[in-house]
Amino acid sequence: MLSKIYKHYKKMTSLIFTWMVRRKLINLPKRLIVNGFSSVNSHTYIGDFSNLNGLKIHGVGEVRIGKYFHSGYDCLIISSNHNYKGASIPYDSTNISKPVSIGDFVWMGSKVIVLGGVNIGEGAIIQAGAVVIKDVPPLGIAGGNPAVTFAFRDKTHFEKMKTERNFF
C-alpha cells in the first residue's frame, strides 16, 4: 500500500514541478519531465524530451538547452555576473548577461555548476560535481573543478544510436 502512495506522490510532485518550470519557459517543449524542484529564468529555452532533476537557472542571461537533455540532482546554471568594475564595491547593481548554450543529448551529473558564457557541445557528459567555466566540445566528457575535458564518447556509436533513434 505504501509503495502505491509513494508512486502517486512522486507522479503528483513531478506534475507540479513540470508545471512550475513550463510556465516560465520561452518555449513549450514536448515531454518535459521535472522530477525534482527546479527553477528557470524567463530567458530559458529547453528542448523536447528533456529531464530535469533539480536544475536551477539563476541570472538574467539566455539559457538554451537542447533536446534529450538530462540533469542530475542539484545542478546550477548561472547566466549573469555582478559588475565589480562599477560605481560601488564589492559590486554595483548592474547584471552582466552571460548566455549559456547546451547542445542536444547532454548529460550532466549531480551537483554540476555551469558558469555564464559557456557552450557545452552535443552529446557531452559532465561528471558529477564539476564546475564548468569554459566550453566543452561535442561528445566531450568533462569533470573536475575547474572542469576539463578528459575523454570523448565514441562518435561512431553515438551517431549509430542517433540514427536508430535509441533515446532515453
Cα 105 from Cα 123, distance rounded (Å): 5
| Partners of residue 23 on adjacent β-strands | none
Which residue reads 535509441 in cell numbers?
166
- What radius of gyration, in Å, describes the C-alpha atoms of the chain? 17
**Cβ atoms 166, 152 nearer than 8 A:** no
Instruction: Report the distance separating Cα 88 and Cα 80, nearest Å.
Output: 18
57 CA to centre of own chain? 8
The pair phi, psi for residue 5, each rounded to 5°, is -65, -45
**Active-site residue flag, 82:** yes
43, 70, 82, 157: the catalytic one is 82
Residues annotated as catalytic are 82
